[in-house]
Structures are given as C-alpha cells and as structure tokens.
Amino acid sequence: ATTLGASAAQTGRYFGTAVAANKLSDSTYVGILNREFTMVTAENEMKIDATEPNQNQFSYGNADRIVSHAKAQGMRVRGHTLAWHSQQPGWMQNMEGSALRSAMLNHVTQVATHYKGQLYAWDVVNEAFADGSSGARRDSNLQRSGNDWIEAAFRAARAADPAVKLCYNDYNTDDWSHAKTQAVYRMVQDFKSRGVPIDCVGLQSHFNPQSPVPSNYQTTLSSFAALGVDVQITELDIEGSGSAQAANYQRVVSACLAVARCNGITVWGIRDTDSWRASGTPLLFDGSGNKKAAYTSTLNALNAG
C-alpha cells in the first residue's frame, strides 16, 4: 500500500499521529493527516489543564474539534491523558491527600464519561515511574496521595467507559534492561494477577543519540505482550536525519510488526516543524511536508509485514 495507514492496516494495525487543534486550519498539515493516518492523539488538548482548567468546570472545545475531525475522516482516537503529575491546572497542583484523590477520580470519571464510546483507548495514567536505577514510583502529589492511586484511576476509567481500552503510558521504558521498564512490567503483571483493569501498555519511544533505539526493543514489546496486554508505540520520534534516521525508524516498525500484540504505532507529530523538540528533525515529513527517507523506510517496513 502507498500510505502509512493503509500499509499498517494490511497487518491489522493502525498508524497514528499527535494532532494539535490549532493546526487543523493548516491545509498542508491537514492534507498529510487525512492522507496518511488512521489514528490520532490530541497532543495537548485532552490533558488535565486543558479539560478541567477550573475545578469541576470542564472545557472540551479543542479536544472535541480533534475528535470530530478524526471521526469525519474515519480515524480513531487515543485519549491522552487522564492522570499525570504534569500539565495539572493550578488548582490541582495545590492539592494533596484525600482531596486530591477525590479530585483526580472525579476528573477521570467526568472526562471518560464525556468521551464514552467515542475513543479507541485512553492513556489513563502517564509517566508515573521515576527515571534512573531505583525502579520506584515518581514522586508527585498523586503518588503521595497513596500508592494505589494508579489502580484507582484505572478502575474509575473502566466504570465510566467499559469499552475503551485502558493503557499505562511512559517514556524510557523501551530498554528491557532498564529499571524503569522492569518496574512498569511488574506493575502490569500485578494488575493482571489481581484483576485491576488494564488492556494496554504504551511505550512513548522518544529516541535520540543519548537514548537510542535499544537492541532489545523487540524483547520489551514481546515481554509486555506476554502479560496479556496490547502494546502500542505511542509517541514515536527519532532524532537524526538521512539514512541513519531511516534505519532507526525501520528497526522500530519491524520490531512492532514482529510482535502480534503490538497493534499500533503513533508518531508524535507530522512535520519536523510540528515537533515538541524545539530544534531537530525527528519526524517523517520535513517542514514543507515532503516525505523524508524515514517516511520511505517506515512505509517499506509496514509493507514488508
């Protein structure tokens, strides 16, 4: 097939991108979006600060615009994200303990209910583990509200929208030997053994020369999948250019296609100029919307599956 979405669909997978609502009036951007992708993630518009700027006052305008666009184009949507230590509105940043717990669960319930039946998956909890070698939870106001905050969020999401897939999403969880990867693995294993609802694990997969595609990446994907969850590459970008970057994209896509339960890949933006990275060229299209070598290697890897 000749587009990313159609090529991924040949093996039953999706190929998605992060979308920013304020770019839906950019015709070059929208042209590529509609042509190439079958899944979208709101880059910022479904985060807590965007959807609940004042406590119990919900704001869905930009997020709904993205969902409407996706639906009109026959694309599906991954929700991102219900509970996170970052991008909290000011009122939540100042909360702690049981008041924060209640506010967080109310947020999960309200937002998941608003989108009930409309989304493919939710990143219920984002980035809850610490970097480094500790394998510990990340310190945050949410973590200090009690170690069971993550499962409480997943249970609330399931209650609000029984059909949506519930994912745990994190970065630096690509290398199987990394303490953070092992810690997330043990949490998912524990959730599955105790019947805490969880359907998928998202590996963000932001790669750069300091944090390259690990040689054991496929082992990480297959190990999570063996726990009985889907695995998705949720925020892929790879710093670099030319044939080296193209080879890295090819490795990531091939690793996913080698794992039956790796059922979708999302890149974190369309053109290099859309990337969250202030400088750099980590995406599949250049600033003018032209296909890069990384696009071709990605497409070829999808078609080889």
Q: Which residues form the catalytic set? A: 235
d(CA 53, CA 7): 39
Residue 165: CB minimum distance to ligand G3I, A = 18
* Comparison of 234 and 254: residue with beta carbon closer to ligand G3I: 234
* Comparison of 119 and 299: residue with beta carbon closer to ligand G3I: 119
Choice from 204, 205, 232, 263 touching ligand G3I (CB under 6 A): 204
Count residues near ligand G3I (CB under 6 A): 9
* Comparison of 36 and 43: residue with beta carbon closer to ligand G3I: 43
Residue 276: CB minimum distance to ligand G3I, A = 3
Of the candidates 165, 169, 166, the residue with the CA atom closest to the CA atom of residue 128? 169
Choice from 276, 280, 289, 303 touching ligand G3I (CB under 6 A): 276
By three-state DSSP, how is residue 228 classified?
coil
239 binds ligand G3I (CB under 6 A): no
Residue 140: CB minimum distance to ligand G3I, A = 14
Choice from 52, 161, 230, 235 touching ligand G3I (CB under 6 A): 235
Residues 36-95 that bind ligand G3I (CB under 6 A): 43-44, 86-87
Of the candidates 167, 88, 188, 183, the residue with the CA atom closest to the CA atom of residue 129? 183
Q: Rg of the chain's alpha carbons, rounded to an integer?
A: 18
* Comparison of 89 and 301: residue with beta carbon closer to ligand G3I: 89
Indicate the length of the chain as a whole number: 305
By three-state DSSP, how is residue 24 classified?
coil
Residue 91: CB minimum distance to ligand G3I, A = 18
Residues 6-35 that bind ligand G3I (CB under 6 A): none
User: Mapped to the 3 state alphabet, what secondary structure does 52-64 carry?
Assistant: CCECCECCCHHHH
Residues 113-132 that bind ligand G3I (CB under 6 A): 126
Read off the amino acid at residue 97: G
d(CA 143, CA 85): 9
Instruction: Evaluate the omega torsion of the peptide bond into residue 81 and state whether it is cis, within 30 degrees of 0.
Output: yes
* Comparison of 43 and 174: residue with beta carbon closer to ligand G3I: 43
For residue 133, CA distances in Å to 60, 138, 155, 177 come to: 38, 12, 29, 10
Taking a C-beta distance cutoff of 8 angstroms, is the pair 19, 33 a contact?
A: yes
Residue 52: CB minimum distance to ligand G3I, A = 16
Angle between helix 242-257 and helix 217-225 axes, rounded to 10 deg: 20
Q: Which residue is nearest to ligand G3I (CB)?
A: 276
Which residue ranges make up the site for ligand G3I (CB under 6 A)? 43-44, 86-87, 126, 171, 204, 235, 276
